[in-house]
Chains A and B, each alone.
Chain A
Amino acid sequence: MASSTAKASRSAKIVPLETGDGPIGKVLRVATKPVPSSEPHPAVDEWGRDAKFVDAFAAIARLRWDVSVGGQQLLPKSGPALIVINTRPLALTPVLTALALSEALDRPVRFVGRPDVVPFGPLLRRIGGLLAIPEEVGGALRAGELVLMGAEGTRNPRHAGKVDHHLVAAAIREQVPVHVAATLSTMFSRSARIEVTAALRSGRNRRRGPLADIELAEQAQRRLQDLLDEIGGTRTGVPVLGWFGEG
């Protein structure tokens, strides 16, 4: 009995680290802070998009951009679609457009073009990035996702670049509508605009082979250029900055 009493008194002195009052205890308490297991939604979805992280990122992006979205009602409320946008080099247009459309539609919009290297790849995956591989785009469309891809980047914000027909082919294979969205922004202003169009109609002569991919990609580029011409340049009211807005 004596030995067991001593054992009990010894065990009573053992205090778990996280219950200590010192700085280590405080750090451990924060690090092991319980997460409610009854959370209605998991933090990442089946493609690795983290809704909470997206919300935080969008809040920061709103400090820089004031995006107005038009034509979002033309996109499906549920079900898959491929959206082609114009991009500029190093402008992160697909990321910002995907965030703005996600907010406008209240559903995740994924963008194509994340790298597969740390730390940028995992970071962009958290906000809905996909690899620029046709099979990856096809898989997301098959899963009923809205996928956004950028045309080739151009220095002139009012010129639509070439559209990758390999990625567009995924939409044809999955029989998914293809929309075009023109984006307009300048580096000197907060305001940015996104204008979405109705789904492209395929030509009268339906192709069965790879020409269908190329023709649809060219059609998307032409429609994108028409849309950019219709929107016009960014009006800043300042002569020099206005010239920048025109490209």
Chain B
Amino acid sequence: MGSELGSLVASLLESEPWVGSLEGIDVDPPRRRLRRAVFHLIDPRNRARVFEVVTRFNPHVVIHVAVWEPDARANTATARRLTEDAALSILGAAAECPALQHVVIRSAAEIYGRARGSLTRPDESTPINPTSEFGRMAAEIEATANDVGDRAGVTVGILRLAPVLGPHVPSPLGRLLRQPAVPFSMLADPPFAVLRDLDAAQALVAAGRIGLAHPLNVVAPGAITALQAIRRGHHLPIPLIGPEWAVVRRVSQLFGAPVPEHVVETLHRGRLIDGSRAREDLGVWPITSTPGVIDSLYAWPSVVHVISPTAPVNEGAA
């Protein structure tokens, strides 16, 4: 519930008629005002406390959104540790709850990998072959969730989300695209698709509502290339060929926008997935197109000047 996506899911669940009571766990406090939900600030390493809270609540449905994208809120090593700990402690505790019927997991499109010769738009039947750290993390979460599902005899629904972007979502791709000057792969400039945070949250809530029991890709319609995205934002494109990427990644990190492995992969090899099945199975589909998500990313002003209507106008004086 502490992440942008998690708190958005919680606020949507609050207005769902099928949700009785609602509780959440995270290492960060919620980013939204939640009226009905009860929040527990617990480190995922504290398994005893997580176990106590989860088993006392005894949920029917668990929506597990605790996936730290590398270099979004934490560096790669910390993100991996937090994701592993959260998956083990929360899903492990949920497996012990007698009322548990259904688990929904937030996974990532990076799980399909972008190895040479991989499909342009993999669908859910495509074998997973992660080629980045984030993809491997997603594969491990899915394995843990499926194991919990088998042992506890509950259904597991997995949503493989395209890169989630939004004006307020901490994302390495979003941060990179908002830099004044943005690198892109001149020889490839492959297409990729993204997903708005609100659409991702609605898909997760719908998966909990219908009791989804298989993996589904969720992606916004349309696609865009890095150069097209940069030009939509009126930023300066920096064409790169290959070896200089290592230098650019370090420089970008110095400027506060680290470029993790999976983002480099997106910019070099593209990231498209087939999300047509989600429309049929979930009953909800992303409204904002990929170019629309990119536009909303740039439309977010970094500083909002609020001028009080009663304040005196005094030009030329401080």
Contact = CB atoms under 8 A, between A and B. Distances in A.
A136 B117 CA distance: 10
A42 B289 contact: yes
A198 B117 CA distance: 33
Given A37-B295, A125-B190, A5 B119 contact: no
B291 A48 contact: no
A119 B241 CA distance: 11
B276 A48 contact: no
* Chain B: number of interface residues, binned into ranges: 35 or more
Contacts of A118: 187-188
Nearest to B185: A118
Contact of A45 (B119, B122, B223, B270): B223
Interface string B38-56: 0000000000000000000
Nearest to B222: A42
A139 interface: yes
Interface in B290-309: 290-291, 295
Given A31-B237, A45-B223, A119-B187, A131 B318 contact: no
A33 B231 contact: yes
A28 interface: yes
Given A4-B318, A32-B236, A136-B119, A47 B225 contact: no
A44 B225 CA distance: 8
B241 to A, nearest CB: 9
B217 to A, nearest CB: 12
A133 interface: yes
Contacts of A119: 187-188
Contact of B224 (A1, A4, A8, A44): A44
Contacts of B191: 44, 48, 125
A130 interface: yes
A45 B234 CA distance: 21
Nearest to A36: B232
A133 B120 CA distance: 10
A4 B314 CA distance: 14
B190 A46 contact: no
Interface string B219-258: 0011111001001101111000000000000000000000
B120 to A, nearest CB: 6
A17 B224 CA distance: 27
B193 interface: yes
A5 to B, nearest CB: 7
The winner among A4, A8, A44, A136 for most chain B CB atoms within 10 A is A44
- Residue with the greatest number of chain B CB neighbours at <10 A, chosen from A8, A37, A130: A37
Given A35-B231, A116-B117, A139-B121, A44 B126 contact: no
A122 interface: yes
Interface string A173-193: 000000000000000000000
Given A39-B291, A48-B190, A136-B119, A142 B276 contact: yes
Contacts of B77: none
A121 B120 CA distance: 11
A33 B121 CA distance: 31
A119 B232 CA distance: 24
B311 interface: no
Interface residues of A, number: 34
A135 interface: yes
B108 to A, nearest CB: 19
A43 interface: yes
Contact of A44 (B116, B119, B228): B228
B4 interface: no
Given A1-B317, A139-B274, A46 B193 contact: yes
Nearest to A135: B119
B223 A46 contact: yes
A143 interface: yes
A117 B268 CA distance: 11
A122 B272 contact: no
B236 A42 contact: no
Given A34-B234, A48-B190, A125-B190, A43 B117 contact: no
A45 B222 contact: yes
Nearest to B189: A122
23 contacts: A31-B237, A33-B231, A42-B222, A42-B223, A42-B224, A42-B289, A44-B191, A44-B223, A44-B225, A46-B222, A46-B223, A47-B121, A117-B116, A122-B187, A130-B120, A131-B117, A136-B120, A139-B120, A139-B122, A139-B123, A142-B123, A143-B121, A143-B276
Given A31-B236, A42-B222, 16 more contacts: A32-B234, A32-B235, A37-B291, A42-B290, A42-B291, A44-B223, A45-B222, A45-B223, A118-B187, A119-B188, A122-B187, A125-B191, A133-B117, A142-B123, A143-B121, A143-B276
Interface of B: 116-117, 119-123, 126, 187-191, 193, 221-225, 228, 231-232, 234-237, 270, 272, 274, 276, 289-291, 295, 317-318
**CB-based closest 5 A-B pairs:** A4-B318, A48-B191, A118-B187, A35-B231, A122-B188
